[in-house]
Chain A
Amino acid sequence: MLDKYISLQKKLRLQLLELYYSVNAGHIGCSLSCIDLLISILLFKKKEQDTFILSKGHAAAALYTCLHHLGKISDTDIKTFYQDGTKLPAHPSANHFNDIPFALGSLGHGFPIGVGIAKADKLLRKNNFTYVLMSDGETNEGTTWEAAHFAVQHKLDNLIIIIDKNRIQGFGSLIDILGDTADEQKWKTMNFDVVSIDGHSIPEIIQSIEKLQTMDNGRPKVIIANTIKGKGVSYMENTMEWHYLPISLELYQRAISDIKKWGLTR
Chain B
Amino acid sequence: MRRIFSEYLAKIVQSDESIIFITGDLGYNALETLQKIMGNRFINAGVAEQNMIGVAAGLAKKGFKVFCYSIAPFAVYRCLEQIRVDVCFHKLPVFIVGNGGGYGYGIMGATHHALEDIACLSSLPNMTCWIPAFAEDVPLVIDTLIKKKSPAYLRLGLGKKNLYNNTAQSISQFTDVVKSKNPKVTIAVLGPLIHNLEKIIQHYKNEIDVFTVLNVPILTLSENFINSIKHSKKLLIIEEHTSRGGIAENISLKILEENITLDKFKSVSALGYPNGLYGSQQYHQTQSHLDSDSLLNTVQNLLNV
Of the candidates A108, A115, A120, A146, the one whose C-beta lies within 8 Å of that of B63 is A120
Asked whether, in the complex, the Cβ of A123 is within 8 Å of the Cβ of B40, the reply is yes
Beyond contacts A113-B58, A120-B64, A150-B51: 14 other A-B pairs, Cβ-Cβ < 8 A, are A101-B61, A102-B90, A109-B81, A109-B82, A113-B57, A113-B86, A115-B54, A116-B56, A119-B59, A120-B58, A120-B63, A123-B20, A124-B62, A143-B82
A106 close to B (CB within 8 Å): yes
A118 neighbours in B (Cβ, 8 Å): 58
A112 close to B (CB within 8 Å): yes
Asked whether, in the complex, the Cβ of A147 is within 8 Å of the Cβ of B51, the reply is yes
A117 neighbours in B (Cβ, 8 Å): 58-59, 61-62
* Total count of chain A residues near the partner, CB < 8 A: 27
Interface residues as binary, B31-63 with A (CB distance below 8 Å gives 1, 0 otherwise): 000000000110101101011011111111111
Interface residues of A in 28-58 (CB under 8 A from B): none
Cα–Cα distance between A124 and B63 once the two chains are bound (Å): 10
Asked whether, in the complex, the Cβ of A123 is within 8 Å of the Cβ of B90, the reply is no
B171 neighbours in A (Cβ, 8 Å): none
Interface residues of A in 168-194 (CB under 8 A from B): none
Task: Please list the residues of chain B having a beta carbon within 8 angstroms of any beta carbon in chain A.
Answer: 20, 40-41, 43, 45-46, 48, 50-51, 53-64, 81-82, 85-86, 89-91
Asked whether, in the complex, the Cβ of A103 is within 8 Å of the Cβ of B54, the reply is no
Given contacts A94-B90, A103-B90, A150-B46, whether A116 and B58 have CB atoms under 8 Å apart is yes
12 residue pairs of the A-B complex, CB under 8 angstroms, read: A103-B85, A112-B54, A113-B61, A115-B55, A115-B58, A116-B61, A116-B62, A118-B58, A124-B63, A147-B55, A149-B46, A150-B48
B43 neighbours in A (Cβ, 8 Å): 119
Chain B: minimal CB distance from A247 (Å): 29
Cα–Cα distance between A50 and B300 once the two chains are bound (Å): 65
Cα–Cα distance between A8 and B58 once the two chains are bound (Å): 32
Chain A: minimal CB distance from B235 (Å): 38
Q: Is the interface of B mostly helix, strand, loop or mixed?
A: helix
Chain A: minimal CB distance from B177 (Å): 39
Cα–Cα distance between A109 and B90 once the two chains are bound (Å): 13
Asked whether, in the complex, the Cβ of A113 is within 8 Å of the Cβ of B55, the reply is yes
A94 neighbours in B (Cβ, 8 Å): 89-90
A142 neighbours in B (Cβ, 8 Å): 50
A111 close to B (CB within 8 Å): yes
Asked whether, in the complex, the Cβ of A112 is within 8 Å of the Cβ of B51, the reply is yes
A150 neighbours in B (Cβ, 8 Å): 45-46, 48, 51, 55
Asked whether, in the complex, the Cβ of B54 is within 8 Å of the Cβ of A109, the reply is yes
Cα–Cα distance between A115 and B48 once the two chains are bound (Å): 13
Cα–Cα distance between A215 and B279 once the two chains are bound (Å): 55
Asked whether, in the complex, the Cβ of A147 is within 8 Å of the Cβ of B59, the reply is no
B62 neighbours in A (Cβ, 8 Å): 116-117, 120-121, 124
Of the candidates B41, B64, B85, the one whose C-beta lies within 8 Å of that of A109 is B85
Interface residues as binary, A234-254 with B (CB distance below 8 Å gives 1, 0 otherwise): 000000000000000000000
Of the candidates A108, A119, A143, A149, the one whose C-beta lies within 8 Å of that of B58 is A119
Instruction: Name the residue on B nearest A111 (C-beta).
Output: B54
A22 close to B (CB within 8 Å): no
A114 close to B (CB within 8 Å): yes
Asked whether, in the complex, the Cβ of B50 is within 8 Å of the Cβ of A112, the reply is yes
Asked whether, in the complex, the Cβ of A106 is within 8 Å of the Cβ of B81, the reply is yes
A257 close to B (CB within 8 Å): no
Asked whether, in the complex, the Cβ of B63 is within 8 Å of the Cβ of A143, the reply is no
Cα–Cα distance between A114 and B91 once the two chains are bound (Å): 17
Asked whether, in the complex, the Cβ of A102 is within 8 Å of the Cβ of B59, the reply is no
Instruction: Find the residue from A106, A116, A119 having the highest chain B CB count within 10 A.
Output: A116
Instruction: Find the residue from A120, A142, A149 having the highest chain B CB count within 10 A.
Output: A120
Chain A: minimal CB distance from B80 (Å): 11
Cα–Cα distance between A109 and B81 once the two chains are bound (Å): 9
Cα–Cα distance between A120 and B59 once the two chains are bound (Å): 5
Cα–Cα distance between A102 and B91 once the two chains are bound (Å): 11
Chain A: minimal CB distance from B193 (Å): 35
B46 neighbours in A (Cβ, 8 Å): 146, 149-150
Chain B: minimal CB distance from A76 (Å): 24
